[in-house]
Structures are given as C-alpha cells and as structure tokens.
Amino acid sequence: MRKWVLVFFLTLCLIGGGANGFAEEISKEGEDILAKALSLKGYRDAICQFNLRVAIPERDGDPAVDLWATLIKHKGDEKLPTILVATPYRREFLIFTALALFPRGYNILAVDIRGTGSAEGTWLSFNEAEHKDVAFIIDNWIPKHSWSDGKVGMMGPSYMAIIEFMAAGNVAVDATGEPLHLKALFPMLPMADAYKDIVMHGGNLDLLFIPVWLFGVDLLAMLPSSLWLGGENADMDGTWEDPNTDILKEAGQNWMASVKQVQINGSWFLNPENLNDGHFFDERSSMIYWPEKDPDVTIGHDRTIPSKLPVFMTGGWFDIFTNGECNIYQHGLSKHDPVDKAMVIGPWYHIDGSMGLGVTGLSIFSNAVQARWFDWKIKGIEDPFMVEFPVVLYIMGEDRWRAEKTWPLADSRVDQEILYLSKEKTKKSSSDWFSVFSRKNDYTLSDTLPVTDETKADPVLKHRPLAKMQGLVSRSMSRWFMGVPAIMSQLYKYTLGKDVDASVFYEDERLDEVGVLTFTTEPLAEDLEITGPMKLTFWAKTTFGEPKENNWIYHLLSLFFTITNNPIEDHENNNIKTITEKDDVQWVVEVNDVFPKGRARNITSGWLRASHRPYDPSNVHEVDPSYTPFDPFYDRADRNPDMINENELYKYVVEVWPTANVFKKGHRIRVSISASDFPHLLPIMVPCDNTIVMDEAHPAAFEFTSVNQEDEGTTWKWIDTEGKYDTLTNYLLDHTN
C-alpha cells in the first residue's frame, strides 16, 4: 500500500515537461528509487519533501487542522519564489501541473485542502474556512521557510483556479493595496457564481456534472493516504515522523473521516434549503470578493480581490464555467489596470481546456506562458505582453484567434440586433431531412417583426417526459460531462490538425431537435458574427397534465444516493421530488449554426425554470423593471421563486451564455426551444403543453450583438492567418505588447 504513491508520482515526473535538475528526497523509504528515476529526466538539483505538515490554527470559529503538502525545492541556500497549487484532487497527483516551472527558478508547493487527500478536517467545498486556510499558507506558512523569498504565485485549472480568487480575497495587503506575498495568479477555467454557473442553471438543477464531480472527489479522498510513507514536520525544523508512529493513526483517522463525509456531500442535493440561492452558495462564489458587490450578500463585503494582483485567466466556449469566466473578467477584475489582467478563451471543453491542450504554451506539460507571466509579475523581469490587447478570443466559424482591447467588446465594435420568432413555417429543403421530418415545428426566424396572422395557430411545445427528453444526442451531453465524449475529436484537431466534428453525434443537433420548436433564418446573404451573451424574450401559457406514477428519474437517483450512503427516503421533502414533480416548465434555448446541407452545430445555450423567471413582484406576469439582462448580481427570482398558474400568460427572458461565432454566408441561424436538457439538467416529470403566444402585443425576440470589422489594428487584430489551433502559442510567447 505504501508504494502506490511513489509509483504514481514517479510516473508523473517522468512524463513531465523537460527540465534540468531534480532529486534526492521523498521519504526515508523509497529515497534511492526516486533519486534514480528522476535522474533519468535530468532533474538533479532538487529536493522533494513529499509529506510536509501544514498546521492551520483555530480562527473565527473554524477548528485548527493539519493540512499536508508536497514541496519540490531547489538545493542550496538561495531563496526563491513559490508556485502554490491548492487542491482537493490529491496533491501527489496535481503537483505535476506546475512541475515545468521548477527549472525556471521556482519552488513548487502542492497542498491538500482541508478534508481531502491526507488533510485533516471536513471538506465543505469552497466554504470560507477553505479560503482563509489558503491565505494563511500564502501569508504565514510559506514566507517563514528558508527556501522562500516571500513571493507566491498560484496556478491551476478548475477548482484550483477558483480557490485562487477565494484566497486572493483574504490575503494581506500593504498600504497601497498590493498583496504582501501573493504576487500573481494564473487561473484556468474558473467559476464565479456557484448557484448560477454550475449548480442551478436558470433555476434548474445540474444532474450530470455535479454528482459525478462530488463522487469523484470522494473517491480520491478514499484512496490510501500518502501519510503511510511518513512525513516531515515542517514546523519542527524538518523532524521526520516515521510511519510506524502516531502518524499511522492520523492517516487512518483522516481516511475514515473522508469515507464518512460522502454522506455530507450527498446531502447538498437532498437539502431543500439548497434549492434556492442564498448564503450556502454565496459563500462558495468567488464573486463575493469582486469590487462590485451584491447588496443582498453580507459575507465578503469588506474584502476584495486586490486590484494590484495580476491575473491571467483562460476559459472555453464549451466549458461548464463559460459564463463565470466572462463575468470574472468584466466585473471581478473591473478595477484592474489592463497591464495586470489578461484573458484567453478558446474552443475548449472543461477537460481539454484544463490541460491546456491545443495551445502548447498553456499546456500543463509546458507552462511556458505561465512562466512568462510569473517571470514578469513575480520576479520583476520587465516583459509587457498582453498589454495592448489583453483579451484573446477564438472566433468559431472563422476558426481564427483574435486579440481585443476589452471584454465585452468595445462599443465601436458591436451593433445591437434583433431577430423575431414567427408563426411562418420554413421552406422544405431536399438536402436537409430535418426540414421534412420536423416540418410541423420548424418555424422562421426573421429580421423584421412579423405581421400578426390570426388564422395561424401559435406554436405549441409539448413536453412528454416518458416519451422523449432532449439533450442526450446533443453537444449538451458532451459539454456537461466536461468534454469527455469529445476528447478524441479535440485531440484530432490538436495533434493532427484534422477537424472530424462533422462525423460525431454531438456536433449535429437535428436528431435532438425533432419534436421541439425551432426557428430558423433564411440562408445568410453575408457573414454575420455574434459575440457576447444573447437573450430570448417571449410570452407563453402552460397547461399541465397528470404526472405518471412511474417517476423513473426519481428511482434512478434513489438508487445512486443509496449506493453513496444518502438514501432519499431519509430526507423529507427532498429536492428530487420537489424539482421533478411540481407543475413547472424547464425552458431550454439553443443557438445553432445550420450548415448549407442541414447540419446544425450548437454554439451556445440558455436555461430558465418558469418559476425562476425575472418576475415583477407587483405583477408576476411581467418582467421586473429592476431586472437588467446579464446582471450577475440580479438574483431576486433565484432567492424567491414564483410558481406559475395554468393557462395564464407570462413573460419570459432566457439569458443565453456568451459565445463568439461567425455564421458564414449561406449558413442559417437557428434558435430552438425545448422543455428538457437531460442528462445535463434534472428533468420535470410533469407533462405539459406550452403555447408561445405571438401577436403585436407579445412579440418573441432573439437579441444579440453583431460584430463589425471597423478599427482593425486599433481595438482589435487577427493573430494569425492560418487558423491553426496552436498558432496562439507563438503569439503568447513572442509578442511584446
């Protein structure tokens, strides 16, 4: 059992990026094995202290805990900056994400956050104690050691990226507002709002990502503890604690605590108090540390991400956190000088984006761009890159990288556009089977407000949960499973430069859209770029049927939670029954790029539960006058939902997540409306008929910003002329302004 960590760690070291120097200590046992293995990579000037105790004192009611860390430091007496990776995914695995920075003159430290890996305590995922633990390590633990020069940088994808912002909101700063020790961040694919970004999309519970993620973290925590190897007590001048002493007992206690907390994590889904937005989610959202504040939130109001803390962030157009990534740059870094912030958004899902695949310089096996950022911001090596154009976007459809002055794009770059949903049917096409098979529900999308024709019936969206649910044969399945189904097609692009998207199921929405309402333009006369968020506004009334006795989704989830020691029957009024069996509607909006022969490629989506619409408290059928689309702080309906009544007309506004896509000449724009997105969202099992009312008083409008080509070289510029995915590396590593 005590060898498994060594074997895995050696494997990571041997596949890591080329470096010069590594090697001598990991534990008293296995020291010779590790030294020889690492020498094969030429890592000759490093010491690896595998188990270092990090004592976190009691504070603010949070109990004292002992965390554990792995340190890779340079030999000799030179004090060097430290790159910190704080993770719940086991430090012995994730330290390799920063290994390539070691030969560039950095010490690397990876820490298990409380309740995960070998660490003591209870994992409560992003709770405030976790934020402060990491800040304590940055300000108090790292600087006191002889190998540290007191300067710290943080990096990592996903959870590690999110905790960077959480820690940044709690670190010590000097009189000018500059952090004393934390000098730069490099978060990849972070989240901003725990409720809106990932747990409840438009008030709909995420079913695919969250359970898989929670279960995965718990499984990692249940692996044998690396403390079986023994450990260094860093607070006692490096005294070695042999594994045949009390450290074995500590390892066993922490392991048992990890097993027991599976039930705690599962209860998030079953606790009715977590169905609506509130303190639980506020505490777990990095936006509480933004300079702009939600007036309804008290936690974190006196703390902000320092405006003098440099941040280089990446995101993906098909990531699970796309909306949060864009909001962090726009709102969370709004007080940052352009010289201290940068953002790159690529054509990535969560997994490939987290690994930096497709852009060699961002890869976890290279870290070349990270090194350039840290050398400038931490070491003070003057290198003003990403200053003139701090935002870089991959423009889909055009398949090119473009640099921009701002996000959102400058006002001079965009025009506000509206397309209207109509009752007119689209024309049949001999080259597109969908236009025939979905003739009944395929309507037109027009750039002029349609003249009301009372002789034509309003479109009706039928939801029959036992017959069919949308989402499975769709990009949605791939996106919300973190890009796992798409990994092979993505690798084809990155390694072979070959696009095979047209041959895979999730790149064509037509099978998924049969039976839903679709609204499609005529073929475009010229290219049209849509960049930024979109919204769909419409009026609808609903008639509900009788729910069937066989709520198969409830029984399926009951089995899952029972296996994970969270039997649904133990939770009265649990969320599963509340969400699946209430008279409510799950509005799902997709925006698709329809190719000349009919293929419909999903670009982005939006979701809204009817009860979470932005309603006016004085007239619940209308939209709240205080509501502004895309305002990340608007949460009235998420905190206090309002159920709809049968056959009453309500106005809905569905916010569609941001994207950047050029709809080419001859392509068509399609907006689809369905009532399910399974397995991404927990479905509503109540049948219903939803009539989209369209007349002069109730227009249905799709609104977006189109992008013009003016001011090239001033507010924007193309980065490459070849359109290949990895051309961004050369730009990020070579340009100087």
Residue environment code for 67-81, b if the CB has 16+ CB neighbours within 10 A, otherwise e: bbbbbbbbeeeebbb
pLDDT band (50, 70, 90) for residue 622 = very high
Both tokens of 84, joined, read 């910190």
Beta-bridge partners for 231: 241
- In the structure encoding, which two tokens stand for residue 381, read together? 């090596």
Average pLDDT of the residues of the chain? 88
Residue-wise pLDDT for 210-235, tens only, equals 888 887 887 787 787 887 776 665 55
The DSSP string of 15-70 is: HSPP-S---S-S-SSSHHHHHHHHHTTT--SEEEEEEEEEEEPPBTTBPPEEEEEE
Report pLDDT for 431.
86
How far is 218 from 198, CA to CA, in rounded Å?
Answer: 19
CA distance 422 to 417: 16
Give me the helix-helix angle, 209-221 and 246-270, nearest 10°: 170
Token pair for 182 = 């934390």
Alpha carbon distances (Å) from 589 to 89, 544, 632, 674: 34, 20, 19, 7
Model confidence at 2: pLDDT above 90: no
Domains along the chain with CATH numbers:
4-308 (3.40.50), 415-474+509-548+582-707 (2.60.120.260)
> DSSP character for 736?
-
Contact of 325 with 190, CB cutoff 8 Å = yes
A 10 A CB-CB count for 508 gives 24
Per-residue pLDDT of 346-380, as tens digits, reads: 999 999 999 998 898 999 889 999 999 999 999 99
Which phi and psi (to 5°) does residue 197 adopt?
A: -75, -30
Give CA separation, 420 vs 284, 613, 669, in Å. Answer: 38, 20, 12
Specify the amino acid at residue 509: E
Give, in degrees to the nearest 5, the angle at Cα 498 between 497 and 501. Answer: 130
Least confident piece of the model among 54-58, 89-93, 448-452: 448-452
From CA 403, how far away is CA 711, in angstroms rounded?
A: 12
pTM: 0.93
Whether 565 shows a pLDDT value over 90: the answer reads no
Local structure of 455: helix, strand or coil: coil
Bridge partners, residue 677, by sequence: none
Percent of the chain with pLDDT over 90: 67
CA distance 336 to 174: 17
At residue 23 the predicted structure's pLDDT band, cuts being 50, 70 and 90, is very low
442's tokens: 């395929």
How far apart (Å, rounded) are the C-alpha atoms in residues 5 and 9? Answer: 6
